Chains A and B, each alone.
Chain A
């Protein structure tokens, strides 16, 4: 481990000295390159690397090349603070990342004290942007945004008696309470509100009880293993109520667990999948990514990291400076409706992205996820 650390530090120093010679603008990338979220981190590196290469071919920004310095946070808060400290000493003006709210939380104060702009890509916890950190931004939406989209969808579909089910995790419960409060404001009665115990196999008791409350729509805010079982057991009971899930069910394993027949018609909210991005910028980007790596990006969060990189470059260009304060001020005040890969991007004073990012998806009879208009 020690030797590895020496090697990494040595390499980083080498890279750093090389960069000084070229007088490049240095932008950090912090992501889970190893650990259980490694697929996200590695794709983040590919996405940001590709965008940086493209930018440098077009001459870079302010006449200088851009250089990406990446560090591994391993999806672990302790690793994240080490990675943040290493990045903060390398003269970067901004850092892109990371994935996972608790990981971001461990690093954001370090960047703030070092005066570095941070643009997180997959950290949706509300509190991250409520701390008054001047240089913190994120291209992903916040959890409360999801609650708004969920209730707007229910209202649009015209359901009148809604059941809400969560699993007592802080994320799922928060989303459920948010949705409940919003529905109350819309005068849509919530006829059932309760929690299941995650990790069990048999949810017939819950389904039976919920069925007795006779809802015409069910919103489940938990994760995909339970959602899959609920769908499967609901079908077995012969109950045809429509189900909707939050973004924690966005996983192809959902369909495997439920079976395609039981999953058909299931709705869920998520930021758009990369295959469904429809702006010209996004199409060009996905095509370039496919050309270089053989397939389209699998997850949306690395693409949101790409958007983080693009807004930082735009801010450097717009502010005509690489000083973090000026970049930060430009992002908050001057950047309006920037054409991002995942839709238009603006930031509010807290550094949160403004505008609807969530989309509604439906599972079709083949078990594929189809974007709803």
Chain B
């Protein structure tokens, strides 16, 4: 039984990261009906920018661990957000009126571009975050020792997701985002600047992906230029699982995928972990083609 709970927390820790990245996919899809395949690479860029800023500014030495990491997270979010806006301007906006497939191909191209750009700037070797940035003492939860960092990551993910949900539901801009998601033409007629809405979406989504990259770097230590691929794929799966276009769905999908993977690996087979997770995805989609919390039927990409 203890092993079961241990595996559950393992799954939740991984799932929290999946969920945070999945938010970026789901937001963009909700408004533009576009799968932003470059999102995983924005996650990688976040991890690298975090490391560069961390080592060059030495913020954590000046203002302490938690505040330093917080400031760093804001900087990474800002920078990756700007990259996201540029990405939309250069790679997606010129194709807004083109067939859907053109934008998907452009997204794949952007992904390859980012991955190689990171490789050329930083090199193909592994980079390692400095250790012990935050005190990583085990905290006892229900009698089980759980590393503090894991709890922090899960809490940070959930807090960011709730903030995003409230932002979209309660603010004027959020309302505009929802309106543009339902019908861009009608939203434009109601005086909503759709281009501005899309820009905001392409700032928030990548910013969340970027900060997830930094969190992975701080917790796991090791980053390399291909890391975005596997996380991006899993997060995309999580978004579909929860119902793409739906913010709470991305949350649920991410956490669920993490838990399914962990329990599948623990009780069935480790080598078949990914296969088990994808079989579950297929079964859920057969029963609920829109994903767990999805409202609209997902159109083909």
Contacts and interface: CB of A to CB of B under 8 A. Distances in A.
A and B bind: yes
Interface stretch (B8-16, B92-100, B160-168): B8-16
Query: Chain B at the A interface: mostly helix, strand, loop or mixed?
Result: helix
Interface string A188-223: 000000111101111011101100100000000000
Contacts of B14: 202, 205
Contacts of B136: 236
A229 B262 contact: no
Contacts of A288: none
A238 B145 contact: yes
Interface string B258-301: 00011001100111011000000000000000000000000000
B266 A204 contact: no
Interface in A214-242: 225, 228-229, 232, 236, 238
B224 interface: yes
B13 A259 contact: no
B206 to A, nearest CB: 20
Given A194-B271, A206-B270, A259-B131, A201 B13 contact: no
A134 interface: no
Given A208-B3, A253-B126, A202 B271 contact: no
B138 A205 contact: no
25 contacts: A36-B124, A195-B270, A196-B270, A197-B274, A199-B229, A199-B230, A200-B230, A201-B220, A202-B10, A202-B220, A205-B262, A205-B270, A206-B265, A209-B7, A209-B265, A225-B126, A228-B222, A229-B221, A232-B221, A236-B147, A253-B125, A253-B128, A257-B221, A257-B222, A259-B131
Contacts of A199: 226-227, 229-230
Given A204-B10, A232-B221, A238-B138, A168 B266 contact: no
Contacts of B222: 201, 225, 228-229, 257
Max chain B Cβ within 10 angstroms of own Cβ: one of A201, A236, A256: A201
B238 interface: no
Nearest to B131: A259
Given A202-B10, A229-B222, A238-B138, 19 more contacts: A36-B124, A195-B270, A196-B270, A197-B271, A197-B273, A199-B227, A199-B229, A205-B11, A208-B6, A208-B266, A209-B7, A212-B3, A225-B222, A228-B222, A232-B220, A232-B221, A236-B136, A256-B126, A256-B128
B77 interface: no
A208 B11 CA distance: 11
A306 B229 CA distance: 41
Contacts of A197: 271, 273-274
Contact of A205 (B10, B221, B229): B10
Nearest to B14: A202
Interface of A: 36, 168, 194-197, 199-202, 204-206, 208-209, 212, 225, 228-229, 232, 236, 238, 253, 256-257, 259
Given A199-B226, A238-B138, A257-B222, A168 B271 contact: yes
B204 interface: no
Interface in B235-250: none
A36 to B, nearest CB: 8
Nearest to A207: B10
A168 B224 CA distance: 21
B275 to A, nearest CB: 11
Contacts of A256: 126, 128
Contacts of B229: 199
Contacts of A36: 124
Contacts of A201: 216, 220, 222, 227, 231
B123 to A, nearest CB: 11
Interface string B145-160: 1010000000000000
Contacts of A206: 265, 270
A210 B138 CA distance: 20
A206 B125 CA distance: 25
Nearest to A192: B270
A236 B10 CA distance: 13
Contacts of B147: 236
B270 A194 contact: yes
Contacts of B138: 238
Contacts of A208: 3, 6-7, 10, 266
B271 A257 contact: no
Nearest to B3: A212
Contacts of B131: 259
A225 B261 contact: no
A257 B265 contact: no
B266 A259 contact: no
Nearest to B128: A256
Nearest to B222: A257
B265 A205 contact: yes
Contacts of A168: 271
A71 B131 CA distance: 44
Contacts of B126: 225, 253, 256-257
A208 B9 CA distance: 11
A195 B138 CA distance: 27
Contacts of B3: 208-209, 212
Nearest to B274: A197
Nearest to B270: A194
A194 B230 contact: no
A209 B261 CA distance: 13
Given A228-B222, A253-B126, A205 B261 contact: yes
B13 A204 contact: yes
A259 B270 contact: no
Nearest to B226: A199
A229 B136 CA distance: 16
Nearest to A224: B126
A196 B270 CA distance: 7
A253 B123 CA distance: 14
Give the interface centre of B10, B216, B269 by most chain A CB atoms within 10 Å.
B10
A130 to B, nearest CB: 27
A159 to B, nearest CB: 22
A225 B225 CA distance: 13
Contact of B221 (A195, A204, A212, A259): A259
Nearest to A254: B126
